[in-house]
Amino acid sequence: MTDFEDIKHYSFLASYLVNNDKSGLSEKELRTADRFVEDIKELYGESASIVSADDDHEFASPEWGGLKGDVITYQVQYNTNELPGEHWVLDKDRPELTQSYRW
C-alpha cells in the first residue's frame, strides 16, 4: 500500500529533490540534499521518494534539523509494505505506535 508523509525542509533544495535539477546548488547544498534523501530511504524504505513540494514558505527550522530558514513542505511517497522494522506495531494496546516516525 502506498502512503504519503509531509516533511518540512529548506525550500532552496526543491528543484533538486523533486526534479533532480542540481543547477545553482553548491557542493555543500548537494550533500545536504543527498543526506536528506538517504535519511528518507532509511526511514521509509528504498522505494521512498519525494514527489512534490508546496509553495507555502515559512521561516522555521527544518524537521530534519538545521538553522532556521525558508522552509516548505515536501511530500514523501512510500510503500507501507517496505517500511523498516521500527515502524511495525508490536503492541496493539499502544495505538500511538501506528503513527509514522517523525523527527
Entry pTM: 0.77
Task: Compute the mean pLDDT over every residue in the chain, rounded to the nearest whole number.
Answer: 85
Q: Please state which of the ranges 12-16, 42-46, 69-73 shows the lowest mean pLDDT.
A: 42-46
Please write the tens of the pLDDT for every residue from 19-38.
999 999 999 999 999 999 99
Q: Which H or E run contains 79?
A: strand 69-79
Question: Is the per-residue pLDDT at 103 higher than 70?
Answer: no
pLDDT at 65: 85
Classified as helix, coil or strand, 83 is coil
- How far apart (Å, rounded) are the C-alpha atoms in residues 50 and 88? 22
Question: Is the per-residue pLDDT at 67 higher than 60?
Answer: yes
- Taking the C-alpha atoms of 66, 52, 44 and 93 in order, what is their torsion angle to the nearest 10 degrees? 90
- DSSP annotation of 31: H
Domain boundaries, the chain: 2-98
Residue with cell 516548505: 72
- Residues belonging to the chain: 103
